[in-house]
Each structure stands twice: as C-alpha cells, then as structure tokens.
Structure 1
Amino acid sequence: MDTTVTHLGSVVVAALRAANYMESTIGNYQKTIRLLDDYVAVRGGEYSPSLGAEFAALTTSPRTGRFSAVRRFNYTRLVALFDSYLRSGEVVLARRKRGGGGRQPASVGFIELNASWEADMADRGLAVATREAYGRIARGYLVYLEDQGITSLDVADPATVTGFFTSLLDRWAQSSLFWQVSNFRPFLKFIGRNDLVEAVNLIGARRSHPILPDLGDEEVTRVVQACASLPRISSRDAAITLLSLMTGLRACDLVDLRIDDIDWRGQTVSIVQQKTKNPVTLPLPGLLAAKLADYVLAERPDSDDDHVFLRSVAPYTGLVDHASIYKVTDETFRKAGVTDVRAGTRLLRHAAASRLLRAATPLPTIAAVLGHASQESTNVYLSVDEKRLRECVLPVPKRAWS
C-alpha cells in the first residue's frame, strides 16, 4: 500500500467529497494534509500511525507559544482518518463522541486494565454516558501514574490519588471535584483497592446545591413564538428546543431519539430513558408535533440513520452528545432574544418542572414526566415555587418584637 501523505491525503479528500462535506471544510483538511506532508517528508517520507501520533501532539502554536485547541482538533481528526484507512482500508468518517478522547494509557498492564474496566461496565449495562464518565476519569488516573513513572497498581499508594485530584484543578473548577470523585470510586472498587477509596474520601469534595434560575413566562413565550415563526430557526432546532422545554427530556435521550419512538397519530413520544432505564410516554403539543413533522418530511437529510435528529452538514449522522444539543438550544434562545441565560437542557428541564409545579401538579406526576428514578430528585424544584414557599413562612411571634 502507498503510505505517502500525498496518496493517503487524496484518498481522504475523495471520501470527504463523496460524503458531501462542504468545500470550506475540505479546504481545512487539505491545509492540514500539507502540514503533515512537510512533517513526514523529513522523517522518511512514509506515513505511519506513530508519526501521526507525533504530529497530532504538536498542539503548541508557533505564533503564540501557547496551546492551540484548533491545532489539536485539526491534526487529530486528520490523523484519525489516515489511521482508519490504514487499519481497515476504508476512511471512517463516523463522528467520535466526546468523553472517549484524551490521553490513553501506554503501558501493557494499564491498557489491559482499562479494557477490562470498559468490558465490566458494558457487561453491567451501564448507560453510555455513565461509561464515558467513569472511563475518562479512570484513564486519567492511569495516565497520571505513568507520568509519575508508575506502570503497576501494586506500587500506587494513596498519595497518588490526592496528587491526581490536585492535578485536575489545573483544568477543573473546585466545585466540579465532587462529580469527579463520584465517577472515580467505582473504578477503585473494581480494582479492589480500599486504601485508595479511603484516600478519595480524604479529598473532602463537597457537592454544591445551587438554586437554578427559572425562566419567566415572558421568556418562555418569546422562545415558543420564535420557534413557531422565525425563518432563521430551522425546524430541527425548533423541535429540539421545544422537546426539551415542553417535555423536559434529557440531552442524551434527545440524541438517541429514533423515528420509531414517535407515534404520529397519537402525538406522543415513547422512550426508555438512558439514565434511569425507566420507560416514559410524553405528549407532543401541536406546535411541537408540527415542527417535528416539518423537519422529518422536508428538512431532514436522506440517510439510513434512524435517529430523528441528524447533523445539518455532512456526514449526515446522528448528533454526537449533549454538547450538540446545548449548541442548538442556546443558539435558538439567542435568536429568540433571550440572552441572559445559559439555555442548556438542564435549565429547560428545570423550566418544564417549574411550570408543572406552578400548575399544582403532584410531585409524583412531575417525577414520572421527568423520568426521575426517585421522587426525592424532584424535590429540588420546590426551591423555585416562591408563592408556595411564602405560604410556609410562619408569622413572627409578637414577643419577638418587644
């Protein structure tokens, strides 16, 4: 096989054009191909995965001397396509999910351990998002150990755990450590290291309980009207936003929604939620059903993929993860003129629950609509029912005034 960058690059570009990628995107690939060609030319002229990894690691901009996310993205995606062709004889254009990236362990023992951990999570039927979160923090710890010259868990002591979490503060906020600790414990229990579990407990990460902002009726009305009438909001983006706002569906369930999940005659959507594994059937109000129909019949690209929501540019595959949904909902809010909130699905689920609560809907019903595994998860929404909270305030005893 011809493994020159020129040949491999021509194969990749042909695959991109066949998949209807925009010429501007192909142009960015071609620019990176030229840079890779220059890099490989002085190192023997033949591309290999190891040279590709070296090239992808060049994430420092020569202009600024600082890390460049653009360089990392462009270099990594090209190398992935080259490697997929060398590995399978086909340029694999499938989108990679977030959460599965980052550095991978390099030592044989840690590679095998990581594979065993991934297999164990899959065997237990953990949700994909959960496996990604657990796997990411476990890989991070193994890579941290390798950076310290440790390639066996037998010599990893509790200090490596506290040191690892200290290193996370370079890129994670202190308030995020609770979730990282929570995601890390299952891995430590899997490897049977109770001493490391106890070290995690010493970190003292505390869960924050912020009161989420609530969307006012005026803001909700503005967004709904924009979804109904603004031409610059596509049917896909309107349907995603309205689904989240009106039904409170999680981002992972919006991403995984399939054509067969929709009952068009009954105007309902029925799914098994990824997070709780609970089945739920939700009504589709008229506007939402109309936008979904507009998207499926007139706007949705032709594709064998049975996901309801597909990418709007090639490759026409399902959306990747919660970040894709956030981009859609946030941009829709911006176009509707609601700019003072971060309009992710967490806020929109919160807004859906708050409206149900204000309508005197019983908590068990709200829990069922939102798909909570426990009614206690729904109690957080009581914090925004200001009217009923005021009714709970006791009068100040007269004696206290004297």
Structure 2
Amino acid sequence: MDTTVTHLDAVVVAALRAANYMESTIGNYQKTIRLLDDYVAPRGGEYTSALGAEFAALTISPRTGRFSAVRRFNYTRLVALFDSYLRSGEVVLTTGKRGGGGRQPETFEFRALIASWEADMADRGLAVATREAYGRIARGYLVYLEDQGITSLDAAGPATATGFFSSLLDRWAASSLFWQVSNFRPFLKFIGRGDLVDAVNLIGARRSHPILPDLGDEDVTRVVQACASSSRISSRDAAITLLSLMTGLRACDIIALRLDDIDWRVQTISLVQQKTKNPVTLPMPGLLAAKLADYVLAERPGHHGEHHVFLRSVAPFTALADHASIYKVTADTFRKAGVTDVKAGTRLLRHAAASRLLRAATPLPTIAAVLGHSSQDSTNVYLSVDHQRLIECVLPVPEGARS
C-alpha cells in the first residue's frame, strides 16, 4: 500500500467529495494535509500511525505559544481519516464531539484504570452525557499526573488533586470549578482515594445561585413568528428551537430524539430522558408539528439506517454531535428573528418554558413532570422568575423601622 502523504491526500479528498462535503471543508482538510506532509517528509516520507500521533500532539500554536483547540481539532480529525485507511483500506468518515474529549493517558496502568471506570459507569446505567463528563475529568487528572512525572496512583499525593484544579483555571472560569469538582469526586471514590476527596474539598468550590434569566413575551413572540414565516430559518432549525422553547426539552434529548418517538396522529412526543431516565410524553403544538413534518418530509437528508430525527445539514449526514450543535441552531434562529440580547441556549429556553407554566398557575409537580426533573427541588429554582408572586410575598415595613 502506498502510504505517502500525496497518495493518502488523493484518497481522502476523493472520499470527502464522494460524501458531498463542502469545498470549503475540503479546503481546510487540504491545508492540514500540507502541514502533515511538511512534518512527514523529513522523517522518511511515508506516513505511519506513529507519525500521525506525533503530528496530532502538536497542539501548541507557534504564534501564541499556547494550546490551540483549532489545531487539535484539525490535526486529530485528519489523522483519524489517514489511520482508518491504513487499518481497513477505506476512509471512515465519522463525526466527533467538539473538543475530542481531551488528551488520553499513555501509561498502561492509567489506560486500564480509565477502561475500568468507563465500564463501571456503563454497568450502573449512567446517562451518556454523565459518563462523558466524569470520564473527561478523570482522564484530565491522569494526564496531569503523567505531565508531573507520576505514572502510578500510589505516588499521587493530595497535592496533586489541588494542583490539578489550579491548572484548570488556565482554561476554565473559576465559577465552573464546582461542576468539575462534582464530576471528579465519583472517580476518586471509585479508586478508593478518600485522601484525594478530602484534598478536593479543601478547594472550597461553591455553586453559584444566580437569579435565572427570563425571556420576555415580546421576544418569544418574535422568535415564534420568525420560525413560522421567515424564509431565512430552515425547517430543521425552526423545529429544534420551537421544541426547546415550547416543551423545555434538554439539548441531549433533542439530539437523541428518534423518528419512532413521534406519534403524528395524536401529535405527541414520547421518550425516555437521557439525564434522569424518566419517561415523558409531551404534546406538540400545531406550529411545532408542522415544522417537524416539513423537515422530515422535505428537508431531512435521506440516510439509510439513521433513525435520529435531526441530522447534520452538511455531509456526513449523521446525528448532531453535542450540545454545541443545538446551541448554534438556537442562537442562529434568535439572531435571524432579531433577538440578539440573550444567550439563546436550551437552558434559557427551558427557563422560558417553566416561567410560562408558572404564570399560568401550573402546579410545581406538573412543571417538574414536563421538564423531566427527578426531584421537585430542581423545579423550585424557577420560582425566582415568577416576579408577580415574589412581590406578593414581600412583607410591609414595620412602622417602627420607618422612623
């Protein structure tokens, strides 16, 4: 097999064109291929998986001297295509989640540990998104240990746990540490390191409790009207936005939604939620049902064997990858509707759905069922957006305090 970069370039580009990739995307691949050729040429001229791994590890931008997520994404996806051709003789076109999950540990002990951790999470039936979050932070810690020259957990003292979280502040906001700590504790308990749990607790990460934002009725009307009539908004994007705005579905549930989950006769959607594993049946308002039908019948790419409702609008026509895909859709829809002063992710749209139910005097247990909360305590936070009822709870100032 010819393994020169020139030959592999021709094979990969032909596969991309056959799969209807946009020429701009193919151009980006070709730019990275030229960089790979420059890397491989002085090292024998023949591409190997080992050279590909070395190339993919060049994530530091020479211009800024800092880690580049764009570099990692471009280099990693190209190497994956080259390696798939070396293994099978075919270019395997798949899509991955943004960020790629970060670096992987290299030592045998750490790799085996991650495999055991992932198997344990799967056996316990944790949601896919939860397993990904727990696995990402665990891999990050083990990679951090390797960077410190530590290749065994027995040599990892409490200082490594606090040092690891200090290193995260280069990429994460301090306000996000609470969630990273929460995702990390289960792994530490799995490996039986109570001392590291105690060390992590010393960080003092606190969960923030901001007053939840609300979406005004005027903005809701503008978005709904744009979804109904604007030629600039595709049926897919309108359906995704309306689905989140009207039902409060989480992004992971919108991504996982399958054609069999929709009952067109009674206009309902029935699914088991990814996060809580709770079943839920939601009504489809007329506009939402119409946009979903328009998308499925006229706009959705034909893809044999792909049962997810929402697919990528460009090749490869597979299911949407992650939360960022949904955010891009909703943010673009809001922008085209002229609503640009909010961050229009599904979190905001869930809050909007909950606030409308509250204003309609819907009981909290019903709201919890609609939003798919496993506990009503999760729903109580939405009381912060019910301004009228909060005002009614205000007590008058005593006469003595006024003087």
TM-score (norm 1): 0.97
Is this contact kept in 1: 2:73–2:99, CA < 8 A? no
Q: CA deviation at 1:9?
A: 1.8
Q: How is 1:1-400 mapped onto 2 (pairs within 5 angstroms)?
A: 1-63=1-63, 67-98=67-98, 100-304=100-304, 305-400=306-401
Gaps of 5+ in 1: none
Residue 2 (structure 1) shift:
2.0
* Deviation of 1:70 (Å): 3.2
Say whether the 8 Å CA contact 1:99–1:132 is kept in structure 2: no
Give the Å deviation of 1:72: 2.7
Unaligned runs of 5+ in 2: none
Give the whole-Å Cα distance in 1 for the aligned partners of 2:64 and 2:197. 41
Aligned partner of residue 43 in structure 2, secondary structure: coil
Which deviations, in whole Å up to 9, do the C-alpha atoms of 1:347-373 show, x marking residues without a partner? 000000000000000000000000000
Moved more, 228-237 or 99-108: 99-108
Give the partner amino acid of 1:350: H
Q: Report deviation, 1:387.
A: 0.5
Offset of residue 150 of structure 1: 0.5
Alpha carbons 2:248, 2:350 under 8 Å: kept: yes
Amino acid at match of 1:314: A
* Partner AA of 2:43 in structure 1: R
Counterpart AA for 1:12: V
Task: Note if contact 1:100-1:132 (Cα within 8 Å) is conserved in structure 2.
Answer: no
Alpha-carbon RMSD across the aligned residues, in angstroms, is 1.3
Q: Aligned partner of 2:35: which letter?
A: L
Distance 1:157 1:329 in 2: 44
Any conservation in 2 of the 1:300–1:310 contact (CA below 8 Å)? yes
Cα distance, 1:171 vs structure 2: 0.8
Equivalents in 1 of 2:265, 2:44: separation in Å?
63
Q: Distance in 2 between matches of 1:158 and 1:64?
A: 33
Q: Which amino acid aligns with 1:319?
A: L
Q: Counterpart of 1:42 in 2: which secondary structure?
A: helix
Q: Which amino acid aligns with 2:31?
A: K
Superposed CA offset, 1:149-168 (max 9, x none): 11000111101101111111
Q: Measure, in 2, the Cα distance between the counterparts of 1:389 and 1:34.
A: 62
**Alpha-carbon deviations, 1:287-329, whole Å to 9, x = none?**
0000000000010011121100000000000000110000000
The alpha-carbon distance between structure 1 residues 374 and 63, as it changes in their structure 2 partners (threshold 3 A), is closer
| Sequence identity (%) | 87
Counterpart code for 2:329? V
**Shift of residue 124, structure 1, vs aligned partner:** 1.0
Tell me: CA distance 1:26–1:39, structure 2 relative to 1, closer, same or farther (3 Å): same
CA shift, 1:32, in A, is 1.8
Structure 1 residues 178-220: Cα deviation after superposition (integer angstroms, max 9, x where no partner): 0000000000011011111111111110000111210010000
Matched to 2:314, the amino acid is V
Distance 1:365 1:85 in 2: 52
Q: Which one-letter code corresponds to 1:363 in the other structure?
A: L
Matched-pair contact (CA < 8 Å) for 1:99–1:133: no
State the one-letter code of the partner of 1:195. D
Of 338-347 and 32-41, the range deviating more from structure 2: 32-41
User: Which runs of 4 or more aligned residues in structure 1 lie more than 6 Å from their structure 2 counterparts after TM superposition?
Assistant: none
How far did residue 35 of structure 1 move?
A: 2.1
SS state of the match for residue 77, structure 1? helix
